[in-house]
A and B are shown apart, each in its own frame.
Chain A
Amino acid sequence: MRRTVLRSLIALALAVAWPAAGAGEVLRVLAWPGYVEPEVVAEFRAAHGVDVEVTVVDNDDALLEKMRPRAGGDFDLVAANTAEIARYATAGWLRPIDPALLPARATQAPRFRETAALPGIVRDGKLYGIPFTYAEMGIIYDPRVFPLPPDSLAVLWDPRYRQRVLAFNGSAHNFSLAALRLGLATPFRLGDGDWPAAVDLLVALRRNALAFYTQPDEAADLFIRHKAVLMFANYGSQQVKALADRGIKVGYVVPREGALAWLDCWAVTRGARDPALAHAFIEHLLGETASRLLEERQGLSSTRRAAVPGARERKLHWLMPVENAEKRSRLWQRIVSGDRRDKVLQP
């Protein structure tokens, strides 16, 4: 949901695709808005004499629609999040990546080089995705109120900050947040017995929160006007930047429970016409130009650095499909509408 919104906004500002000029070899790339900027294509063409044809999608469903008809055979390269990469790899639509062809991986932050720790991109010992961009959902805090960064997620429930907390209006993430707070093994798998406790936590969060925002602009506006001191940063460091742009200095922290995070990777399709060239393009995307444009224009983090200082030690929970998205949505709808615990838990 969050990514859909963000990327839709970006998509509107961008051409859907810019077709390749001239004949000869063409690299067919399926990507998200802002991932392959014209400058990046121009540099690649200058270096390799190959044109790049970019097809842009702005949500996971559209991506799947493009991939499905010929098992990805219409493209050489595809950008997708870890969950989708896992799905495509299982379907046999991807070809393993040869890390030896990607020396630029050395410039990536260590957590993105340790691919075994990243979910979904390694299958049967083979690497199917190369991390490209990510965001973690940390906690924004007012440093005047918190001389030291809050250590735990629990601060969001602290009655001292009642109605000065901003949370996000999203069912999957909020239940994952509750799961983190409950200390479950994975935030994406709520056991049958975990639901009442999670609901209790979220009802309590509702009572402590000023509001549940959906858009980053709305969040910044509420944060400033209502003098909020804590905010669950669903959009990550992008929101820190948005507040800084409006003259508000805030702190940003990944609490000790860790933070939810999404990660988009590049993958080479099974039907890639020239796998070596596809690898060369990934190598190019890991370079200076693509990374810089990603941060400057999209406010997204490249994998060249870890965005949150000191966050390296903190765990990032890479988004995975949740155990029951429909149930999370149904319950969250009741919670956010103001129902009491018992009513929320009704079948």
Chain B
Amino acid sequence: MSGGLQLSLARRLALAFALLALFAAGLTGYFAYRDSRQALVDTAKEQLATATRMLSRRIALTLDSVERDLVLIAQHPDSASALAGDVQSAAHAADLFARMIANRHAYFQIRLIAAGDGRETVRVDRGPGGPLVVAADDLQEKAHYPYVFETLALPRAGLYVSPAAINREHGAHDAEGQPSIQLAMQVTTGRQVLGVAVINLDLDGLFRLLAIDLPGDTELFLSDDDGDFLIHPDPQLAFAFDRGQRVRVQEHFPATQALFERRAESVNLQIDASAGIAGRIATFHRVDTLPAAWRGAGDARGMHVALGLAQPLSGILAMGGELASNAVRNVLIAGLIAVLIALVLARAETASLRQIEAAMTKFGQPGAAPLPTARQDEIGALARRFAAMQAQIRAQLVTLEAQSRALDHEAQHDWLTGLANRRNLIGFLPQALARAARQERRLALFFIDLDGFKPINDTHGHGTGDRVLVEIAQRLTHGVRAGDYIARPGGDEFVVVCEGLEIPAEEEHIADKLVRLIAAPLVIDGLRLQVGASIGIACYPRDGSDAESLTGAADRAMYAAKSAGRGIWCRADGERSTAPAEQTKAST
């Protein structure tokens, strides 16, 4: 019970320590994970913002290079000659355009278009098999397209940039049905405007090419100046205006409104996962490029788009997954170590308690259990106090035992003579009888009553009487065999029990000896005194088999001896000694 209590205390302590340690480790792990997770997201956000800025810059640079190409074409002598009708120059120009298209993957078309009837003079398209020089019959009239009439309406050397649109021009080869923008410039000679040079850009190709080194799960968004999606991971949402609908970036990502109100150049978003939509981070950046370009014959200048990159949080946090499993592993290891330490600690702490408990269990048994008295803490103090208490109680127990033994002796012995008293006799007799019965040996009980003692008591006082009794007791003690039992049940009566009688009538000889011993004269304080003895003899098994019957028989025999003349012994069956006085005298 107490052991279980001790163990459960150890367990409880260990459990408490372990839980505390696990809690601490778990908490640390969680915060480490959370912080690193946020750090991952923050880093990813920063990287995404940087990537978006870089991409914006690249777009601007790429469009600058397109502008330079266009200027080169527009100012090339062959362009002017071709538009003026020179077939040789047209062939040269076509050759140049074909080479440019072969090298510039984002070019759909390069054309020279005459100012008058809007006829294409030189046209090279990107086709499935590479650059295609469009032949005479396939050349079309384009005067009614904005890139022609708007460009012709521009000031000299003005650059026109069209809005992004799905190219619906029939026969445009790769460009047909594709998102594109046109850049155009006038081709002039002196003061005469001969026509326009037009580069048709593959919008998707341009952006996909620029974004080619972005991580695989990055989503690319592009919107025009009004927010209408031009590129969207879901193609159904790009160029919705071409299908008579509007799907705008501000509606999907309201924070981007700031871009279109020109309150911000860049917007970072974190879209938390909601029903059916995966969480992601996104950056939208305003790209203002081709600052010199006109967007029509009005005042609008430059090309403005909003570029967005988004990354699913799951992808970013996938990196965090390893982090998380590391954190979990670390927490588990730390927890395990903590549990072990807790167990050891708890056992160490409770070992001292168990020592004290063992000492308590052994209390009162011989041999001292060790106690952790050397400890300098509360348990040490408890052990020291317990040791002191143990010593004190032991000392008291020794005293108590001695006292108990003395009391027991006193209870069983006559204080005057030191012989067994009546109580002792009552205890002794059944045991002696049992022994005799077991060994089938005879036992004799002698009931002795002093004759002539009362007169001594009355004449010389109780003190003298007492000394007589002590003297008689000593004589009896020395007179019987070692091992015979002597008691003084009361007053001037004595009982002697002799066990293991072997010789027939041996009891009678003993009785004779007892009579003689008692009858011998006494000298007490110079007084010569004498008492006699009347002895009743009862023998086991002859005169009784139990203590009561035997003592009764001895008692009756003693009275018979007394009434028969004193100084003699009488057997329970009536046989008695004779001439006691003589015998006594003769032996003295």
Contacts and interface: CB of A to CB of B under 8 A. Distances in A.
A225 B300 CA distance: 12
Contacts of B171: 334, 337, 339
A340 B298 CA distance: 31
Contacts, number: 62
B141 interface: yes
A211 B246 contact: no
Interface stretch (B44-52, B143-151, B303-311, B348-356): B143-151
B244 A337 contact: no
A94 B497 CA distance: 142
A337 B144 contact: no
A206 B153 CA distance: 18
B408 interface: no
B297 A226 contact: yes
Contact of B144 (A8, A12, A210): A210
Contacts of B170: 333-334, 336-337, 339
Given A163-B149, A209-B144, A337 B169 contact: yes
B432 to A, nearest CB: 116
A8 B146 contact: no
Contact of A225 (B145, B245, B296): B296
Contacts of A334: 170-171
Interface size class of B (residues with CB under 8 A): 20 to 34
Contact of A338 (B141, B244, B245): B141
A207 interface: yes
A76 B171 CA distance: 48
A212 interface: yes
A211 B141 contact: no
Interface residues of A, number: 24
Interface string B262-300: 000000000000000000000000000000000011100
B435 interface: no
B411 to A, nearest CB: 108
A14 interface: no
Interface string B99-121: 00000000000000000011010
A207 B144 CA distance: 7
B362 interface: no
A88 B435 CA distance: 133
B244 A4 contact: yes
Interface in A79-136: none
Interface of B: 117-118, 120, 137-138, 140-146, 149, 153, 168-172, 244-246, 296-298
The 6 A-B pairs at the shortest CB distance, nearest first, are namely A338-B140, A337-B170, A338-B141, A5-B244, A8-B244, A337-B169
27 contacts: A1-B244, A9-B244, A9-B246, A12-B246, A163-B143, A207-B117, A207-B141, A211-B144, A211-B145, A211-B149, A225-B296, A225-B298, A226-B149, A226-B153, A226-B297, A334-B170, A334-B171, A336-B144, A337-B140, A337-B170, A337-B171, A337-B172, A338-B140, A338-B145, A338-B169, A339-B140, A339-B171
